[in-house]
Amino acid sequence: METELNRRGARPALVALDWGTSSLRAFLMDAAGAVVAERASSQGLRHLPQPGHAGFTQALSAIAGDWLRDGPRLPLVACGMVGSAQGWREAPYVGCPADVTTLAAHAARVDDALGRPLWIAPGLLYAPGNEPPDVMRGEEIQIAGALARQPQWARRACLVLPGTHSKWAWVEDGRVTTFRTAMTGEVYAVLRQHSLLGQLMSEGESEPAVAAAAFNQGVERARASRPGDLTHELFAVRTLGLTGRLPGPALADYLSGLLIGHEIVSALAQPGMAAPDEMPLLLVGEAALSRRYAQALAAFGRAPAAELGNTAPQGLWRFAGAAGLIGAAA
Amino acid sequence: METELNRRGARPALVALDWGTSSLRAFLMDAAGAVVAERASSQGLRHLPQPGHAGFTQALSAIAGDWLRDGPRLPLVACGMVGSAQGWREAPYVGCPADVTTLAAHAARVDDALGRPLWIAPGLLYAPGNEPPDVMRGEEIQIAGALARQPQWARRACLVLPGTHSKWAWVEDGRVTTFRTAMTGEVYAVLRQHSLLGQLMSEGESEPAVAAAAFNQGVERARASRPGDLTHELFAVRTLGLTGRLPGPALADYLSGLLIGHEIVSALAQPGMAAPDEMPLLLVGEAALSRRYAQALAAFGRAPAAELGNTAPQGLWRFAGAAGLIGAAA
């Protein structure tokens, strides 16, 4: 699927891949960091045409073979699970604090990816004292892209990346100093698809106003919650349906508000979050989900300073620049 | 499956059914409330031989047809999802406070269950002010059985019924005054079977000492948690595995400790729970799970006053008595 074709005349300077578990996106970029063309495929790590090196090569050829043939000296970079232990080549996690220069210094190299090296960005590890460690892989590049696009926030900000495993990352002087994961999206999905809670969620969508009210009701319930309350509060998704207090389709919105609300309650209690003026929040990611988070954050009086969309291409371009690859293409 | 055959000579006075979604248990009881024989089948509501009245009749005949033929005047009672809207006959929820007399007064009646009426106990509803309501169906009978067996606790106690949907019920002067559900067991099951967290949980069991240590580590993490922390803490199940800090099989124990710990943190913050001497805790249910809860409660300094096992037969017998059915059989 070719989704974007702007600046077709621009001279390509980089092929950049965002290669995750369930999808692969490829970006053709020019020397100024603009996206010339963009493609997406479902050939993530779980759906490669065959296992191992040959499978990765085949998937790469299918999505960007023509770009790479037309530009035999074009550099090639990637981020995401392609650098995990189950990926093409492992790029072990690097510790915080870290910025894009740190990522470039610890990149892993696939020697022959359609006749050229492929540089893969490592993930980040945050392992404070006795607490369980936290990890990210892919989001570190989105963060680099967000800071490239909005350098005014690089001195001090909290970046929120909603998703299957939402990340909250704290940045100081351009480097990620700490971060934490909340499994919001995955918990939502498994409860909806595999638990009793999904049973009463009739198909179809609510009226927008009904959906928004149910979502807000879930957020408010989370806002008032005390330690340990979540597994109790989840049961309300069932009882509000059973007793007819919420219509079937709105139960999914309530569940979403409850889980996103819990994620926000927990994150806003982190050090440095008490003073909104000193810690702007930046939302990074897909538009529809970002809007939900913006709505929930507003209920906490913490409207985000910006919503940035997908910043992976800009992050990959910065990563390639830090690795000294952009000049090499000219 | 006939699992128990004691006091074969005793004169039967009641056939009692615990009929849930996934299983059906039948008890033949004497006039003193003792179990003469016990059987179990998988013909819960989800696995009836056919839909509707005929399916229920067939399942009843398969598990207790001979008992009912031999005792044509034996009364027949049931509890559980058989009384839900998807059951044989709906016994609508009754509000708190409620005791076994309340249940008997609101029983639903199937007119012809193998030639006699079947009386089904209703579930309980707790709907405080503006909060979402809570419901139970089946546990109200276990509670009645527990209080029958241990009447010294009927004046004031908190009954803990661990399970797919754990219930904490507060009893005063023999009546259930309030209760709350935590979806601990179901959240554990769906995360283990359907989320990324299950991937690193290798098959097999840990050494008992390793399993207990991992379970306690999860409980301790829950004990230190703040509002909203659960979806963040869940991710540790992955990272503790990824970084080799816990072996694969122990990750399931850690997850169990984390979720049970959260349930306990939340429940111990309820009104009246601050003074252990005035609020004894009684564990009701299956032995292995009760032991896990007892171990976790001990970490909170709240060892249970008693562990009672399955009290459904005694509860059904009390329900039949309150409905005036026990004398009728003699």
What is the rounded average pLDDT of the residues A200-228? 92
- Amino acid at position B77, single letter: V
Within this chain, do residues B136 and B199 fall inside the same structural domain, yes or no?
Answer: no
Does residue B157 lie within any of the structural domains?
no
Q: CB contact, 8 Å: A72 with chain B?
A: no
Q: Among A85-89, A223-227, A286-290, A326-330, where is mean pLDDT lowest?
A: A326-330
**Distance between A45 CA and the closest CA of chain B, angstroms:** 14
Nearest to A190 by CA among B197, B25, B18, B249: B197
A195 interfaces chain B, CB cutoff of 8 Å: yes
For residue range A97-149, what is the model confidence (pLDDT) as tens digits? 999 999 999 999 999 999 999 999 999 999 988 889 999 999 999 999 999 99
Based on the domain organization, do A96 and A211 belong to the same domain?
no
Q: Does B255 touch chain A (CB under 8 A)?
A: no
Asked if residue B293 lies in contact with residue B283, where contact means CB atoms within 8 angstroms, the answer is yes
Whether A181 sits inside 8 A of B235 (CB atoms) is: yes
Identify the CA nearest to A141 among candidates A321, A318, A323, A283. Answer: A318
Is A250 within the bounds of a domain?
yes
Phi first, then psi: give them for residue B323, nearest 5 degrees. -85, 0
CB-based contact A132 B221, cutoff 8 Å: yes
CB < 8 Å to A196, chain B: 186
Q: Which of A201-210, A227-236, A306-315, B240-249 comes out lowest in average pLDDT?
A: A201-210
Residue B321 corresponds to which tokens in the numbers above?
Answer: 């008595």
- A96, part of any domain: yes
In a domain, B170, yes or no: no
Residues A12, A133, single domain; the answer is yes
- Do B225 and B113 lie in one domain? The reply is no
Measured between beta carbons, which residues in chain A are less than 8 angstroms from residue B235? 132, 134, 165, 181-183
Cβ contact B191–A187 (<8 Å): yes
What's phi and psi for B157, nearest 5 deg? -165, 165
């809670």: which residue's tokens?
A197
**Residue carrying the six token digits 């050229």:** A116
What pLDDT does A195 receive?
94
Give the CA radius of gyration of chain B: 21
For A154, phi then psi, to 5°, come to -65, -25
Question: Does residue B118 belong to any structural domain of this protein?
Answer: yes
B98 Cα distance to chain centroid: 17
Give the closest of B195, B228, B233 to A265, CB-based: B228
Give φ, ψ of A175 to 5 degrees.
-115, 145
A258 to chain B: nearest residue by CA?
A: B228
What mean pLDDT value characterizes chain A? Answer: 94
Asked whether residue A286 falls in the same domain as residue A315, the answer is no
pLDDT digits (tens, 9 = 90+) for A143-165: 999 999 989 999 999 999 999 99
Q: How far is A263 from chain B (nearest CA, A)?
A: 6
Tell whether B239 is within 8 A of chain A (Cβ): yes
Using CA atoms in the order B97, B101, B106, B109, what is the torsion angle rounded to 10 degrees?
150
Same domain, A144 and A14: yes
Please provide the DSSP assignment of B234-262 as one string.
HHHHHHHHHTTSS-HHHHHHHHHHHHHHH
**For residue B100, what is the domain's CATH number?**
3.30.420.300
Tell me what pLDDT residue A87 has: 97
A230 chain-B contacts, CB cut-off 8 A? 228, 230-231, 262
Q: Do B137 and B209 lie in a common domain?
A: no
Q: Does a structural domain hold residue A165?
A: no
Could you give the angle at which helices B248-268 and A230-242 cross, rounded to 10 degrees?
70
Nearest chain A residue to B237 by CA distance is A132
- Smallest CA–CA distance, residue A190 to chain B, in Å, is 6
Give residue-wise pLDDT tens across range A63-91: 999 999 999 999 999 999 999 999 999 99
Cβ-defined contact of A132 to B267 (cutoff 8 Å): no
- CB neighbours of A154 closer than 8 A, spacing ≥ 6? A147, A171, A173, A174
Q: Are residues B108 and B201 in the same domain?
A: no
At A275 the pLDDT is: 86
Does the beta-carbon distance from B227 to A265 stay under 8 Å?
yes
Contact residues, chain B, for A243 at CB < 8 Å: 127, 133
| Segment-wise mean pLDDT, segments of 10 residues, chain B, 330 residues | 54 96 96 96 96 97 97 97 97 97 98 97 94 96 95 95 97 97 98 93 84 97 98 97 93 98 98 90 96 97 95 98 78
Distance from CA of B10 to the nearest CA of A (A): 42
- Residue ranges of alpha helices (H) inside chain A are 52-70, 100-105, 139-149, 184-194, 208-223, 230-242, 248-268, 287-299, 312-322, 326-329
Q: Does B222 touch chain A (CB under 8 A)?
A: yes
Indicate yes or no: CB of B187 within 8 angstroms of CB of A182.
no
Cβ atoms of B293 and B160 within 8 Å: the answer is: yes
User: Minimal Cα distance from B263: which residue of A?
Assistant: A228
Residues B145 and B38 in one domain: yes
Q: Is the pLDDT of residue A298 over 90?
A: yes
Number of C-alpha atoms within 13 angstroms, CB side, residue B271?
5
CATH code at A205?
3.30.420.310
| Distance between CA atoms of residues B209 and B325, nearest Å | 50
Same domain, A280 and A315: no
Would an 8 Å CB–CB cutoff place B185 in contact with chain A? no
Residues B108, B204 within the same domain? no
Judge whether B160 lies within some domain: no
Any domain includes A173: no
pLDDT of residue A4: 47
From B237's Cα to the closest Cα of chain A, the distance in A is: 9
| Strand pairing class (A24-30; A35-41) | antiparallel
Cβ-based contacts of B132 with chain A (< 8 Å): 221, 233, 236, 239-240, 245
Token representation of residue A249: 């389709």
CB contact (8 A) between residue A225 and residue B227: yes
Q: In terms of residue numbers, what domain contains B196? A: 181-307
Q: Which of A36, A5, A20 has its CA nearest to residue A329?
A: A36
Asked if residue B189 and residue B146 are part of one domain, the reply reads: no
Q: Do B194 and A193 touch (CB under 8 A)?
A: yes
Q: Distances from the Cα of B79 to the Cαs of B26, B82, B123, B124, in angstroms?
A: 11, 7, 8, 12
pTM score = 0.94
Report yes or no: A41 at the B interface, CB cutoff 8 Å.
Answer: no
Tally the domains of chain A: 2
Distance between A288 CA and the closest CA of chain B, angstroms: 21
Dist CA A195 CA A259 (whole Å): 15
Q: Are A216 and B112 in contact (CB under 8 A)?
A: no
